Structure formats: structure tokens, C-alpha cells
Chains A and B, each alone.
Chain A
Amino acid sequence: MELKLPPLAETGETLTGAEIVVRCLKEEGVEFVFGYPGGAVLHIYDAIFDQKAFSHILVRHEQAALHAADGYARATGRPGVALVTSGPGVTNAVTGIATAYMDSIPLVVITGQVPTRAIGEDAFQECDTVGITRPCVKHNFLVKDVNELAITIKKAFHIATTGRPGPVLVDIPKDVSAQSARFHYPEKVHLRSYSPVVKGHSGQIKKAVQLLLEAKRPMIYVGGGVVLGEASAELTELVRLLDYPCTETLMGLGAFPASDKRFVGMLGMHGTVEANMAMQNCDVLLAVGARFDDRVIGNPSHFAAGNPTRKIVHIDVDPSSISKRVRVDVPIVGHVKDVLADMLALLKGAKDKPDPAALAAWWDQIGLWRAKDCLKYDRTAAIIKPQYVIEKLWEITKGDAYITSDVGQHQMWAAQFYRFDKPRRWINSGGLGTMGVGLPYAMGVKLAFPDADVACVTGEASIQMCIQELSTCKQYHLPVKLVNLNNRYMGMVRQWQEFFHGNRYAESYMDALPDFVKLAEAYGHVGMRIDKPADVEGALREAFKLKDRLVFLDIITDQTENVFPMVPGGKGMSEMILAEDL
């Protein structure tokens, strides 16, 4: 990368590398650093000791530091910052880095490294951090010269937050954090090899608008890019202006209000019938900040062959997301906010209007799919249905809480039944699907929004993957609510075994579960166990009334409940299994 070091100001202060790190974070307006100390970062911790620019949050496992920083970033849109030591600190952090990478979340990860002279000697707690993390970061750096530390951190923030966001790692050898240099923090960096496109091509945008206006069976497919690109307002205006149906991926939920009737639900493997059928049968598809993931489109040849005349417009800031799994007709590379604004301007000035008769017929068709009521479940059951818990959670929090989740069936029910009206309210791991994220995500969110309701929907298996963070929550007073949909199974695994492995439930039963109520109490929190449908609402209300306490709601749910609809792996979007089929 080209280095454009500005001339050092004669008066620039001389600081140690460790102090430079702290000052850079201050310049970036960082509020929280999530971390865990160790030998290679001791100088940096020493510099943190008496500074007031940011708070350091001491987690109980480096994985959680990354997840918490990631949760903070997802909820605020600002980059999350984590600090870990060399060797095991880094390897523990890798899951968190990869999780953020897969969902394009901006993070700056600072890692300690053994002293430069010891690199390559199998030194104590040495690992090839840059090598290990290379495939799961947007970029990484090893800083060998203290004079390059500040500009490198500047570059890290710049790269993490622009274009398609992602984690950037800065590896700092211990001697570099001890040495001194003149401190200068550049306001801007220019990298000749990195300049993400912002403006979309105007000719392509015109073509796209024309296609949209001519559509008889239009569909708007919204992904995480709209959330990441802060383009909810533009998207919402566009959908309402056109009065077209809109669906969202797991990562896009909240970008368009779920309470609007134009929203046809999530699409994909566990998407609604109306969303998946409209995707499969539309004549013009507008994909916005979505990447045609395999859990969304299912089998790409089925998707293409089933409707060969469908025209696809795809807006994405990353050219490599376009035509990766599905060939598109009108690619538009650019920032979603800019491109949507340009489209809106054209649409408002357009003389042509969508064909009202065709649109009405299309909505009628969608109405028929909707009438299948594919998310229905047994509301009279004597056992607690997980879907019911999420509906009540939505009701009690007035649909306005921040909901984090872990990975499994509970995640899908949260996505289907908590109707998100705002972006950045739904915080979960989609791309990597990392169990264990839920609690640390909730910590990051609660720190960012201390007055907001923050609930973590989890499962008895997932929660045990980062349960140690209950201690962090105690230390920093983070009164989040844990909604444990306890089905005594790795439910999502059990569901696949039921459907595709002849009910052979190999190793998916969660034996020897702890008493979660006592566990919560042992960490200094409140625990509740709920096993009757009639008690769900009261317990939730009570939990949210305990404003300043973390409450662990251990909710004993139906062990055999499955997530429907389901598109089996390798099948097409219209080949869903519905509850009524079984």
C-alpha cells in the first residue's frame, strides 16, 4: 500500500506506541474497547490505565470481546473495537472476527504480538496472527515501525468502515508499543489501491427504473446492505412509492417496516410462502444489498430455470457480490443510499406509472399465497410454543426492543415472529451462524443504548457457549433479558435429523443441563423458570419491569416443535416443506 506520510509537525508530541494506540482510538471517537489483557499488550493496557477517552470492557473470553464489539457495531453503525493479546488471545478471537467478516461488520481489532526480534522463533505465545486471520478479515497489518502506527490505525478505521464494511486487524509487536515516535494523526488517508465506488452508473440506474416501471409482477428483495448502508428511509420511500411487495433476508430485517402491508415476510430457507413464491414467480426483481445466499435462493439452477424470463436488477457496493450465484441483467455497483436516492429522483419525475391492473392482479396472487398462513402454530397447546414466547416478547416490548439471538431454531422463530419495524434492532449471526454470539451481542448493544430494552433470544445449547459473560454483565451492570427457549435439544440439528436422517438423533440431546435459575443467581442475577403457557406473559412483564437487573428466563418449550416453512438444502425456493405437509 502506498504510504503518504504527511510531514511530521515539529511540535508533534512524542508518545510511546501504546500511548499512540490510545490517542488514535480517542481521535476516532471510540466509546468502548472490548478486551482481555496478556503479556504482548501490557504496554497498551498500561496506557489505558489512566485515560478517560473510552471505557475498557473486560470480557471473560476473547471470543466474547469480538462478539460484543461486533454487537455494538451492528446496533450503532459505528466500528467496534477489540483488543487482545498474542497467541491464544488471537486464536480465541478468530471465531468472532470470522463472524463479523461473514456479515460485513466494521471492526478494528488490535492484537499484541511478540517483539519484532522474536517473530519467527516460536516465541512464547507467538502465532502468525496476520496469516491466521488473513482469510477472515477485510485487511490486516503487522506494524513493525512505531512511526507507522498512527497512520496504520487510521487506515484500519478507513478500510473497516467504507465500501463493503468488514473487520480490519492491526498486529502490534510488544517492542513497537514500547518505542516512541512523534504523534500525528492524519485526518484523511488516501490509498491508491482502495477506492470503493459510491455513485451508481447513471445509465444503469435509468435502465433499472425503466424495468421497474414496466414490471407486471415486481418484487423487491432487501438484504443486510440496506442496514449497513443506512438506507432504510430511501428504501421505504421507494417501496411505498411503487406499492410493490418487499421481502427481506435474515440480515435485512427491519430495513423496511414489517408492520407495512407491503412486507411479505422474510424469504429463504425459513422464509414465508408468499415471499418465496413471489421471488420465484416475479418478472422483475430488484435486489438491494443482498447477496443471493444459498440459504436464500436455494438451488440457483432451480431459481433460474424455473423462471428464465425474470429480469434482475442488483445494487451492491461489492462487484464480487454481483452475478456470483445468480446472473443478473442490470448490475449497479454503488452505495445503496446513493443509488436508491438516484432511483427515487428518476421515479418521481417519470411520466410512466406501473400498470395498476397488473399490479392489482399480482397483489391478489400474493394474497392467495398469504392465505396459506404458513407461520401458523398450535395456539391451544398445553406446552409452551416457542413462537408464542416471541409474539409475547414483541407485544410486551411494543416491538421496539433490540433483539439479539444465538443460532438455531430460536433464531428463526425470533426472525419470523418479532416484527422489526426499524433497522439495527435485530442483531444475529447470519453468514457464519455462530452459536454463542447472543449474550455478548446483547452486552455490546446495552452499552451503546443503556436505556433501551435489550433481549437475547437463545437456546440452552447456544447460551452455554459464552455463558461466562454473565460475569461481565454483573461487573458492568448490563441488565439485559435472556429469553432461553429451552427445548433440551440442539433443536435445529434435531430438526434436520428428523427430516433427513430418519429420526436418528445423534448427539443432539442436551443432557446434564445446569439449573439455569441457580446459575443466573450464582452470577448475581435474577433467574426464572417458566413451564406453563399461562405464565409466559407475566414472567416477561416482570422481567422487563426489573429495569436494573439481568433476568435469565428459562422457558421450557415444546421439544418437538419445528421451524416452518423449510426449503431443504439443494432444493428450489418454491419447494418448501410446510407444517401441514407432515
Chain B
Amino acid sequence: MRHILSILVENEAGALSRVSGLFSARGYNIESLTVAPTEDATMSRMTIVTTGSDEIVEQITKQLNKLVDVVKVVDLSEGRHIERELMLVKVRAAGKDREEMKRTADIFRGRIIDVTDKSYTIELTGTTDKLDAFLEALDKGAILETVRTGVSGIGRGEWVLKA
């Protein structure tokens, strides 16, 4: 099962390697990992997408909690939540394909943020599925470069993740 873990960590040098080192040392999967400071400058928030049986994810959560730099861990997938990922794609957009490319981007609510006579750079936000679907909708040969942030997640409603 796919799980989205939200983790508050102390904003200390090395906190990221403690977390990523835990995953590699114990053989857990990381599908994506994002990290950035929060509104409280002393803390960073990570979102890790991982897969594993319930037992494994329970162990992952416990092991993360055990790290001294980890302030809090929640499994967002246990409740209602929103997930988003940002992708930038550079595509070939020349001749008759140019118009078609723009239409596809529009359908997925992508924005063209950079243009040359032969290419577009498209910005797209959404769930991982949506970004995958967009890439599938494109002609493989047209994709020049993609970069994705990995998933960020937040709980729905008024509930907040706090230290």
C-alpha cells in the first residue's frame, strides 16, 4: 500500500540524512521525498511517499519517531488529505504540433511558462496520477526534459500538524 508520511523535523544539519539513512539502512522504499522549512523557522517539514505492508509502515513510523531530530510523524493516508506535486516539462513544440501541445496543456490546466520557437516549458500541479496522465497523453518523442518535486501533502479540514 502507498502511504504519505508527513514529518516535522528539527531544522538541524544532518536531519535529512538521518531520515533518508533510516530508509536505506532498514530497506524501506522511498518513492518521493520533499523537504522545506515551515512557518516556524526552527522546523522543516518532509513529505515521504512510501510503499509497504501495514506492518512495515507501522515500523517505519515508529523508527522515524525514534530519531531524536524528528518532532512528529503522521501518516496522511490514514485520514482525509490533499496531495499535490509540481512538474516542469520541456516539450518539443514546433510546426503543426505546437497548437496540439498547447491544447493538451490546457486540458490538464498546465501553464506554459517559457517559450522558444521549437519548445514549450509547461508547469503542471496535481496528484501524482494526474501528472503521470499528462505525460502519457504526450507523444513520448516530444518530451525533452521533466522535473518533478515529489508529493507534498496536508490534512483536510481544520486539523493541523503541529509540534
Contact = CB atoms under 8 A, between A and B. Distances in A.
The answer on A and B forming one complex is: yes
Interface of A: 1-2, 130-131, 134-135, 138-139, 142, 159, 191-194, 318-320, 323-324, 327
B42 A2 contact: yes
A139 B65 contact: no
Contacts of A159: 68
A131 B17 contact: yes
B21 interface: yes
12 contacts: A1-B68, A2-B10, A2-B42, A135-B21, A138-B68, A191-B68, A193-B68, A319-B62, A319-B65, A320-B63, A320-B66, A323-B58
B21 A194 contact: no
Given A1-B12, A142-B13, A320 B68 contact: no
Contacts of B66: 318-320
A135 B10 contact: no
Given A192-B163, A320-B59, A324-B59, 9 more contacts: A2-B10, A2-B42, A134-B14, A134-B17, A139-B68, A142-B14, A193-B9, A319-B62, A320-B63
A324 B63 CA distance: 11
A111 to B, nearest CB: 15
A10 B18 CA distance: 37
A138 B67 CA distance: 8
A235 B66 CA distance: 26
A193 B55 contact: no
B163 to A, nearest CB: 6
B25 interface: yes
B40 to A, nearest CB: 10
A154 to B, nearest CB: 14
A349 to B, nearest CB: 33
Nearest to B10: A1
B71 interface: yes
B64 to A, nearest CB: 9
A135 B25 contact: yes
Contact of B55 (A1, A130, A323): A323
Contacts of B62: 319-320
A159 B21 CA distance: 20
- With a 10 A CB-CB cut-off, give which of A2, A131, A318 has the most chain B CB atoms: A2
B21 to A, nearest CB: 6
Contacts of A194: 68
A193 B10 contact: yes
A319 B10 CA distance: 21
B68 A134 contact: no
Nearest to A318: B66
A75 B68 CA distance: 26
B53 to A, nearest CB: 12
Nearest to A321: B62
Nearest to A135: B25
Contacts of B18: 134
B48 interface: no
Contacts of B68: 1, 138-139, 159, 191, 193-194
Contacts of A1: 10, 12, 68-69
A139 B62 CA distance: 16
A341 B65 CA distance: 27
A320 B73 CA distance: 14
